[in-house]
Amino acid sequence: MSVSRLIEEAISLFGTEAKLAAAAGVSQPSVNEAKRKGRVGPRLALGIDRATGGKISKSALRPDIWSQGDAA
């Protein structure tokens, strides 16, 4: 699944980009930019992982940094 699609799934869990951003500890524009570009920074990946309880994992968003079994 693409990073953009994973971010869209995370947004749908929270209802809006702003609510996801607040839960992940980032700004709404950073969520929107990541969705548009299909890239997330480490801070956003970790925030989404924590906000979704691992449903959207940091390793799925940034496999170059985290492998599937990495703990936060």
Is the separation of the CB atoms in 11 and 35 below 8 Å?
yes
- Region class of 70: left (phi > 0), else alpha (psi between -120 and 50), else beta: beta
- How confident is the prediction along the chain (72 residues), in pLDDT tens digits per residue? 899 999 999 999 999 999 999 999 999 999 999 999 999 999 999 999 999 999 999 999 999 999 876 655
Topology adopted by domain 3-60? 434 Repressor (Amino-terminal Domain) (1.10.260)
- Look at the block and give the residue holding tokens 């940094």: 65
What's this model's pTM, rounded to 2 decimal places?
Answer: 0.90
Angle at 10 between CA 9 and CA 11, to 5 degrees: 90
Locate 55 and state its tokens.
Answer: 């449903």
